[in-house]
């Protein structure tokens, strides 16, 4: 089943020069392709829309501040079961719990600065793609 997912390489990935490394892992997966890619800074409105489900949680304000702390790389990735697949490449939210070989397991530091966002379901992907790449 071919799908589309929204991937964000978070400000820590850009600052640490890990963009090529992370995109390389995605590109090497057979049958997946990048169909949009943009370096951009995220404004408050975009972040509130994107992370609305977490509003009110204790980590929400520091998360939004972190995501606004520098540019991110936003990508659309298409391919076979890509939603589940990029989540698997990323590993669990908390880098301490993430296995070596996963992006967060290899490079993550603290739970907030975990390098990558990837849509977690078809519904989330559809919603998030509209926020970041309207009209595509």
Interaction of residue 68 with ligand RTP, rule CB under 6 A: no
Name the nearest CA neighbour of 77 among 42, 108, 111, 117: 117
Query: Would you say 57 is a known binding-site residue?
Result: no
- Sheet of 72-80, strands arranged across: 33-40, 72-80, 2-9, 116-118
Interaction of residue 44 with ligand RTP, rule CB under 6 A: no
Interaction of residue 52 with ligand RTP, rule CB under 6 A: no
Interaction of residue 93 with ligand RTP, rule CB under 6 A: yes
> Shortest distance, CB of residue 90 to ligand RTP, whole angstroms?
7
Number of residues that make up the chain? 136
Is residue 125 within 8 Å of residue 81, measured between CB atoms?
no
Interaction of residue 89 with ligand RTP, rule CB under 6 A: no
- CA–CA separation, 95 and 27 (whole Å): 22
Is residue 84 within 8 Å of residue 70, measured between CB atoms?
no
Query: Would you say 25 is a known binding-site residue?
Result: no
9, 19, 26, 118: which one contacts ligand RTP (CB under 6 A)? 118
Is residue 117 within 8 Å of residue 51, measured between CB atoms?
no
> Shortest distance, CB of residue 105 to ligand RTP, whole angstroms?
13
64, 95, 117, 128: which one contacts ligand RTP (CB under 6 A)? 117
Residues of the shown chain interacting with ligand RTP in the complex, contacts defined by CB under 6 A: 59, 63, 93, 111-112, 114, 117-118, 120
Residues with a catalytic annotation lie at 117
């Amino acid at each position: 089943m071919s799908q589309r997912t929204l991937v964000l390489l978070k400000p820590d990935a850009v600052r640490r020069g890990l963009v090529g490394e992370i995109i390389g892992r995605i590109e090497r997966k057979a049958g997946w392709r990048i169909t949009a890619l943009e370096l951009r800074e995220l404004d408050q409105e975009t972040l509130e829309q994107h992370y609305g489900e977490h509003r009110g949680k204790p980590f929400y304000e520091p998360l939004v501040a972190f995501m606004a702390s520098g540019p991110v790389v936003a990508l659309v990735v298409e391919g076979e079961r890509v939603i589940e697949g990029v989540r698997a490449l990323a590993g669990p939210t908390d880098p301490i719990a993430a296995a070596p070989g996963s992006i967060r397991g290899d490079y993550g530091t603290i739970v907030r600065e975990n390098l990558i966002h990837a849509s977690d379901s078809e519904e989330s992907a559809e919603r998030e793609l509209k926020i970041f790449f309207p009209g595509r």
